[in-house]
Amino acid sequence: MTTTLRPTGPLQQGADGAKARTYEVCVNSRPVGSVGLATDEVFGPTVCGLRDLRIAPPDRRRGRGTVAALAAEEVARGWGCVRIEVTVPAAATAALRLVSALGYVERNRRMAKPLGAAPALPDGTAARPMTGDEFEAWAARAKELYARTWTDRGVPEAEARAKSEADHARNLPRGLATPDTWLSVLTHHGVRVGTLWLSVLDGDAFVFDVEVDAEQRGQGHGRSLMLAAQAQAHAAGRQRIGLNVFAGNTPALRLYESLGYEPTSYSLYKALL
């Protein structure tokens, strides 16, 4: 039996080279599933996203998904893409096994937890609003560090910087005055020890950035920052809090797991050689 992709409509193309198309997954011309492909809005037309690969239950466990994913990679190569990316829900264990077997590598994961009662901060520790002058210095550093997290994971520098600028512009359009956003400085006995950026994303509180100042690390202030985020989210009436953690950041991952965060999705990528 032959598994192929059959377009369900015309190729969508943008003036900047963007492309998108959806396909039926067919076995001997019989539809058994579907998949979508689209180039990335930020990284540009050389990066393709694999979306919503689905195989009907009666045709699962027969290699249809594997062949469909490989065929999708060939389409992406034909578009001139050099990298393909996919986001897999944490509950989709079969899909995660499939893409991992095909050579996709985890770049980052989303994690979340329900919010209970507001936690108390350690004695002498407090979170205060960031000032305007502090924001300017923090924003410049945050953009630089965020771009670096992407270049450290194989993203070309120009793409990483473009993503950093775009993400910060989208999520902080009005700086300190951005609605549903809390930018804070954490102090311990009056001494600054770190910063926190908490916003609302898809209805949930979301930790966009947390950083302990270099000279204050190793003293438990990372946990205090996360407790401050939970307290702020609780005060804002949110029922759930989420975050993103990049692969390889083992200390952060262990901290989040110890606080009860669990994975909700995994983002993976693969170079198209």
Q: Is the pLDDT of residue 47 over 80?
A: yes
Write the CATH number for 236: 3.40.630.30
What's the pLDDT tens digit per position in 162-195? 999 999 999 999 999 999 999 999 999 999 999 9
Residue pair 17/39 in contact (Cβ under 8 Å)? The answer is yes
Q: Token pair of 103, please?
A: 């050579």
Q: What is the pLDDT at residue 42?
A: 84
Number of structural domains (the chain) is 2
Predicted TM-score (pTM) of the model is: 0.92
Same domain, 221 and 123: yes
Phi, psi (degrees; rounded to nearest 5) at 221:
-75, -25
How far apart are the C-alpha atoms of 243 and 233, rounded to whole Å?
A: 12
Mean of the pLDDT values across residues 230-246? 97
Same domain, 73 and 129: no
Same domain, 117 and 70: no
Residue where one domain finishes, among candidates 57, 81, 105: 81
Q: Domain range for residue 209?
A: 113-264
Dihedral, 9, 14, 15, 16 alpha carbons, nearest 10:
-140
Residue where one domain finishes, among candidates 38, 66, 81: 81
Residue where one domain finishes, among candidates 81, 99, 125: 81
